[in-house]
Amino acid sequence: MPSQSPVSSTEIMKRAGIARDVLTFWLRNGLLQPMEAAAGRGKHLRFEWYEANIAAVMNQLRILGMKIESMLSIVGTFREAISWAESYGIQPSDLPALDTIFTLHKKRINRLYDDAGLVKMIEQFSDEKYAEARITDRIKKIYYKMPKDEFYQHRDPFMIITEQPEASDVRQAVYQYGKLTYFWRSGEGEKYIFAWGEAAEFRSMCEGSVSSIALDIPTILWRVWNNPEDGIGGLLAWMKAGDDEEAKPEVEV
């Protein structure tokens, strides 16, 4: 599994495929955020590992000709999601369980069962056999504190920007390959709206969009965490796995 240790500016440039002048410009404009300001001779900037993901996505937008103001809007969506997760102590591995409990909550709202039935279903999913989707006491505490709208606002951007795909991670390929991430603006200014998943393309065309862009972020991030020289065959196999319709994730998000 790729490391989640802090990374250097050199590693950011290598993984994201950017030059030093681009990195410097992005730092000056706030696109990338170091963990703390370096001071003194010989001190070097360090970044959270997910900054490499942000840099790679921003580089793709730069190649496509997007302005810095638009890139700041898009990266803001990811940073808000990261801050949201940190405020609740959420890790990427917590999302399947949170999605399970909020799906049960949605069914309660739709009156498929009453409050007692909701509690019973939540307890049922506390069994270890549910693995990633297991609802632990910690997940329940988060759920009771978190508004559902907040969860659905930040879940997808947090999930997407904190991925670290492995060449052998076929399940991840099946789950996300081919699902494009859409960004669009619906009026004046550079504020972009985010959407991912089955209805994202439809939303990007129907919500008053005046400018939109779509990215295959899972493939971009595969290149961040896997060596293309060694792993291009793995990338092709990873992408091909998305055609296997019988392979399904345990929890639909």
* 46-81 tens-digit pLDDT: 999 999 999 999 999 999 999 999 999 999 999 999
Q: Round to whole Å and give the CA distance between 140 and 135.
A: 7
Contact 49, 4 (CB under 8 A): yes
pLDDT in tens, 157-177: 999 999 988 776 544 544 455
Compute the radius of gyration of the chain from its Cα atoms: 19
pLDDT of residue 234: 44
Q: Round to whole Å and give the CA distance between 80 and 137.
A: 26
pLDDT of residue 174: 44
Percent of the chain with pLDDT over 90: 46
Domain ranges of the chain: 1-49, 50-243
Percent of the chain with pLDDT over 70: 79
pTM: 0.80
Burial classification of residue 105, based on how many CB atoms lie within 10 Å of its CB (0-12 exposed, 13-18 middle, 19 or more buried): middle
Closest to 182 measured CA to CA, from 141, 211, 142, 151: 211
Contact 208, 187 (CB under 8 A): yes
